[in-house]
Amino acid sequence: MTGDSTRCVKAVAHEGVPGSPLQAGPVFAAPYLLGEDERDDVDTYARASNPGWRALESALADLEHASAARVVGSGMSAITVALRSLVAPGGTVVVPSDGYYQVRTYAQEFLAPHGVKVVEMSVAEFGDGTLTDVLVTAPDNSVVLVETPSNPGLDTVDLRAIATACHVSDALLLVDNTTATPLGQLPLDLGADVVVASGTKSLSGHSDLLFGYIAVADPELLPAIDRERLLSGTVLGPFETWLAHRSLGTAGLRFERQCANALAVAGMLLEHAAVTDVRYPGLAGDPAHAVAAGQMSRFGPLVTFRLPGRDEVHRFVRAATLVAPATSFGGIHTTADRRARWGDAVPEGFVRLSCGIEDTADLLADLDAALKETTLHRGRPEPAET
């Protein structure tokens, strides 16, 4: 007679079919059952390969116009796996000095000590020929990582020009496509070799999972990336894989609305007496617009602006009913982040607003009311606790 526990375990087991997608449930190694032929080119262990990854990767490769894509556990792991597998000791890596701050921190703390020369370059320097000077003295196979539009400055780098400068010097161009997404910009079509991105933001879009991906133009880059992912174990879990893939189906709709909201919000803020320094690459008068218009089809969910100081930012977020204080971006809810708190080189009152998918009129009205409230109470002490 079988014991109760054994019966319980049997009750939730199902027959593993090699190659079938992961099932939610305790299914042991299934569908990674080892065949008697002992082949290792099929799914044998989830860290090496699995059908869930392949489904998501083929969708991402299509979206990025790539020959192939690889998914990993976060945007940072997309960048670190790509850099570790493509830059050798003695090589040079160029990273943005005014992009997402953890990338340059990683390069300085973990690549430089292993003999990689790390050069930090601003968006302005990417545009003024500094890159060519650096690459002339760098060994072949240098790697250049650019972020456009940059986070948090929303400045743009001319990807066609940078791709030409890289290829003249046999350097690889990696583009962080997180803020633009493939629905706003296709770096591989503009000459880049590799896209790295955080899918945590607009692509998955619900602020409920972390994931990253690497998409390549040339499949010859894949073996090094695969090896690095396998051995470092920088993997995406099965639940996130499923959720990310499922979320892609609505990414087009969500991104369209986010971009439409961002343009409307940026236009409203430009006219608003309470704010200064509004930036959005989609605004015709924005310093980033000329380059953005030449390479982007949509300009993204992020708008930045400046309030007088830290207190005004907190008052604004408190007064708004449709704005959540959060540091991630690209989700369905509008969110705001005071970037100075993270050490970005921006004024204390600098706000990075990520526009969600709310109805545009509602969002504009809410932001306007919150800004009025912020201005009204400017300089007054906080209300006393009762």
- Four-residue CA torsion sign, 33, 36, 37, 40: positive
From 58-66, 123-131, 155-163, 176-184, span contacting ligand PLP (CB under 6 A): 176-184
Q: CB 1 → ligand PLP: shortest distance, Å?
A: 51
Question: How many whole angstroms from its chain centre is CA 194?
Answer: 14
Q: CB 197 → ligand PLP: shortest distance, Å?
A: 7
Spatial CA neighbour of 283 closest among 306, 307, 302: 302
Rg of the chain's alpha carbons, rounded to an integer? 23
Nearer to ligand PLP, 75 or 184 (CB): 75
Nearer to ligand PLP, 31 or 149 (CB): 149
76 in contact with ligand PLP (CB under 6 A):
yes
344 in contact with ligand PLP (CB under 6 A):
no
From 51-59, 68-76, 273-281, 368-376, span contacting ligand PLP (CB under 6 A): 68-76
Q: CB 178 → ligand PLP: shortest distance, Å?
A: 4
C-alpha separations of 284 from 46, 259, 315, 318 in Å: 48, 15, 30, 31
Q: CB 112 → ligand PLP: shortest distance, Å?
A: 19
From 87-95, 171-179, 291-299, 352-360, span contacting ligand PLP (CB under 6 A): 171-179
CB neighbours (10 Å) of residue 243?
16
Half-sphere exposure in the Cβ direction for 372 (13 Å, CA):
6
Q: Residues 312, 348: contact at Cβ < 8 Å?
A: no
Query: What residues numbered 100-159 form the site for ligand PLP, per CB under 6 A?
Result: 100, 147, 151
Structure tokens at 5: 């526990």
- Four-residue CA torsion sign, 319, 322, 328, 329: negative
Q: CB 96 → ligand PLP: shortest distance, Å?
A: 9
Of the candidate residues 74, 181, 204, 261, the single one contacting ligand PLP (CB under 6 A): 74
* Pairing mode, strands 143-147 and 194-198: unpaired
Residues in contact with ligand PLP, total (CB under 6 A)? 13
Of the candidate residues 80, 156, 178, 334, the single one contacting ligand PLP (CB under 6 A): 178
Of the candidate residues 44, 50, 142, 179, the single one contacting ligand PLP (CB under 6 A): 179
Environment class of residue 277 by beta-carbon count within 10 Å: exposed (0-12), middle (13-18) or buried (19+)?
Answer: middle
CB neighbours (10 Å) of residue 26?
9
From 36-44, 55-63, 175-183, 240-248, span contacting ligand PLP (CB under 6 A): 175-183
Helix axes 360-376, 310-319, angle to 10 degrees: 130
210 in contact with ligand PLP (CB under 6 A):
yes
User: Which residues of this protein are in contact with ligand PLP, per CB under 6 A?
Assistant: 74-76, 100, 147, 151, 176, 178-179, 198, 200, 210, 212
